[in-house]
Structure 1
Amino acid sequence: MRRPLIIFYFLVVYALAELIWWGVLLVQSQPARSAMIIGEGAVFVILLFYGAYRLHKAINEEAALHQQQKNFLLSVTHELKSPLSSIKLYLQTILRRELSAEKQRAFLLNSLKDIERLDDLVENMLIATKIENKSYTFPKERFDFSTLAEEVLQRIRQNLPEKERLQARIDGDIPVYGDRFALSLALSNLVENALKYSPPAAAVHLELKEAGPKAVLRVADQGQGIPDKEKEKIFDKFYRIGSEETRATKGTGLGLFIVKQVLDNHGAVIQVKDNRPAGTIFEILIDRE
């Protein structure tokens, strides 16, 4: 990316130098028209700088997109390889060794957890692609959001070594009109994102309650938090804070993108707030009917 920028800057400087040189020659050859030549030259310089600025911005945006796509490929490769290697090891151990029925069952259960992890990854990639190319229609119905939240939390807790890490306070009978599958995926991504970015022993709190005509959902973690300048960017596709080579947490950069797209389609609002003393709070306001 550095070489194209050097060429770009060289061409801008060359074009500006040529413009000034020809302007000087015209003024020397036609002194009576100096004011007109200088005025027209100034317009050309302004247009040149404006065009250079727009082109420079486009090059930087393309470079940022390229880096995000590179990070995405690296993270997807890791996200796929890790559970596949784990499943392979479990199955090879079962086949090669004489294990008790209890041990075999434990290995198979762990393999199923890894398969669920792969299934979630594939589901996120598919829904993100469908949302982006507008092929997903968001089929909506009236359902109990409280029940949906309980189901999502129960599924996530099954794969948590320390189930008490996920704490919830959910009011009952909160109806909403929306896409049950898409909202469950959004909620799952929010909770798993909070668990991922919190310290290993730190609790994640989920709260669902009514507030007039709205349902209010809050997911609070105790991680490092999100800088103010990053809070708008975290919902961009593939965007993740830091580089894939130095980032400790796993992920593809699709989770929060899906969350934002799903909520926008439901006319819902999501706010990113600082938790106290540390961490982040994602607060969602969605119409109850």
Structure 2
Amino acid sequence: MRKPLFIFYFLFFYAIMQLIWWGVLLAQIAPERKAMFIGEGLFFFVIFIGGAIKLKQALKREKKLHQQQHNFMLSVTHELKSPLASIKLYIQTILKRELDREQQQQFLKNSLKDIERLDDLVENVLIATKLESQKVQFQKERFNFSNVVTRISERLQVYSCTTQSIKLNVEPDIYINGDHFALSSMITNLLENAIKYSPPCEQVAVKLYEDKGSIVLSVADFGIGVDDEEKKRIFSKFYRVGSEETRKTKGTGLGLYIVKTVVDRHYGQIKVKDNKPSGTIFEITFNQ
């Protein structure tokens, strides 16, 4: 990135010096038109400066995107290697040692947990790729949204923490018209985000209900919360909350991007609120 910036600054100052030089020459050749040359020169100078600023901003955006993509690749590599290494170790231990049935069951459950992590990661990458194309249409169908929210919550309850309480308050038999795969991914990412940015085994409250013909899904945690400035950027692709503490958490920066895009594609609205005494509430409304 340094070389393009060096070339940019060199050409910028070169063009400015040429503009001034030609302006002086023209004024000497035709002094009676000096005022016109100065006016046109200033007009051109303003346009040139504006274009240069826009170009510099574009270069900075390109640099930022490149860095985000680089961080994403590092995160994905880590997210793939970590559960694979864990699964390999568990299976090798089962094969090489004489373990009782209870130990084998525990190792197999831990392996299944890591497989679920891999499955969620692959789903996120697939759906993020799909969401990039505005031409791709979701295959919408009518299905029991209450059952999906309950099933995903119970799965993450089992695999997140032995004592973590995902508190469910789900009205039964709420049906929605939408893409089953995309909406399932949205729910998974919302819950995983709440768990990830909460203290170990802290409570996460999940509510699903109907309100005046609309379907409302709420996920509330008592974690670190989101600053007002961060709320404007958390749905950007590859973006991760900026403090060093939270950057140490696992993730690829795709989760909330997927959530927001899936909600938008289903003509819903999402709000980010502060929870009391601490934490965040994500509230999603679908008008059916």
TM beyond 0.5: yes
Aligned to 1:156: 156
In structure 2, do the counterparts of structure 1 residues 243 and 62 end up closer, same or farther at CA, with 3 Å as the change threshold? farther
Counterpart residue identity of residue 236, structure 2: D
Aligned to 1:19: 19
Counterpart residue identity of residue 107, structure 2: F
Aligned to 1:165: 165
Counterpart residue identity of residue 40, structure 1: E
In structure 2, do the counterparts of structure 1 residues 220 and 187 end up closer, same or farther at CA, with 3 Å as the change threshold? same
Aligned to 1:275: 275
Write the deviation string for residues 190-212 of structure 1: whole angstroms up to 9, x where unpaired.
01111001111321111112210
Write the deviation string for residues 187-235 of structure 1: whole angstroms up to 9, x where unpaired.
1110111100111132111111221021111111222222222223222
Identity %: 58
Q: Distance in 1 between matches of 2:12 and 2:225?
A: 41
How far did residue 161 of structure 1 move? 2.2
1:66 aligns with 2:43: no
Write the deviation string for residues 14-41 of structure 1: whole angstroms up to 9, x where unpaired.
2112211221222122110011101110
Unaligned 5+ runs, structure 2: none
Q: How does 1:107-122 map to 2 (within 5 A)?
A: 107-122=107-122
Counterpart residue identity of residue 66, structure 1: H
Unaligned 5+ runs, structure 1: none
Task: Judge which range, 244-253 or 217-226, deviates more.
Answer: 244-253
Q: Distance in 2 between matches of 1:162 and 1:50?
A: 58
Q: Distance in 1 between matches of 2:183 and 2:137?
A: 13
Q: Do the aligned partners of 1:74 and 1:244 also contact (CA within 8 Å) in 2?
A: no
SS at match of 2:282: strand
Q: How does 1:4-83 map to 2 (within 5 A)?
A: 4-83=4-83
1:225 aligns with 2:221: no
Write the deviation string for residues 161-188 of structure 1: whole angstroms up to 9, x where unpaired.
2344311211223222112221111011
Q: Do the aligned partners of 1:152 and 1:187 also contact (CA within 8 Å) in 2?
A: yes
Aligned to 1:174: 174
Aligned to 1:256: 256
Q: Distance in 2 between matches of 1:284 and 1:56?
A: 38
SS at match of 1:27: helix
Task: Judge which range, 83-92 or 105-114, deviates more.
Answer: 105-114
Aligned to 1:125: 125
Number of aligned positions between the proteins: 288
1:102 aligns with 2:102: yes
SS at match of 2:224: coil
In structure 2, do the counterparts of structure 1 residues 204 and 110 end up closer, same or farther at CA, with 3 Å as the change threshold? same
Counterpart residue identity of residue 25, structure 1: L
How far did residue 122 of structure 1 move? 0.7
Write the deviation string for residues 69-123 of structure 1: whole angstroms up to 9, x where unpaired.
0110111011011101101111111121111222122111211111111011111
Write the deviation string for residues 53-80 of structure 1: whole angstroms up to 9, x where unpaired.
1101110110110011011011101101
Q: Distance in 2 between matches of 1:219 and 1:266?
A: 18
Task: Judge which range, 41-50 or 222-231, deviates more.
Answer: 222-231
State TM-score, norm by structure 1.
0.93
Q: Do the aligned partners of 1:240 and 1:253 also contact (CA within 8 Å) in 2?
A: yes
Q: How does 1:180-191 map to 2 (within 5 A)?
A: 180-191=180-191
Q: Do the aligned partners of 1:75 and 1:244 also contact (CA within 8 Å) in 2?
A: no
Counterpart residue identity of residue 174, structure 2: I
Q: Distance in 2 between matches of 1:272 and 1:243?
A: 19
Task: Judge which range, 34-43 or 175-184, deviates more.
Answer: 175-184
In structure 2, do the counterparts of structure 1 residues 244 and 126 end up closer, same or farther at CA, with 3 Å as the change threshold? farther
State TM-score, norm by structure 2.
0.93
In structure 2, do the counterparts of structure 1 residues 170 and 163 end up closer, same or farther at CA, with 3 Å as the change threshold? farther
In structure 2, do the counterparts of structure 1 residues 272 and 125 end up closer, same or farther at CA, with 3 Å as the change threshold? same
Q: Distance in 2 between matches of 1:135 and 1:92?
A: 46
Counterpart residue identity of residue 180, structure 2: R
SS at match of 1:183: helix
Q: Distance in 2 between matches of 1:168 and 1:175?
A: 17
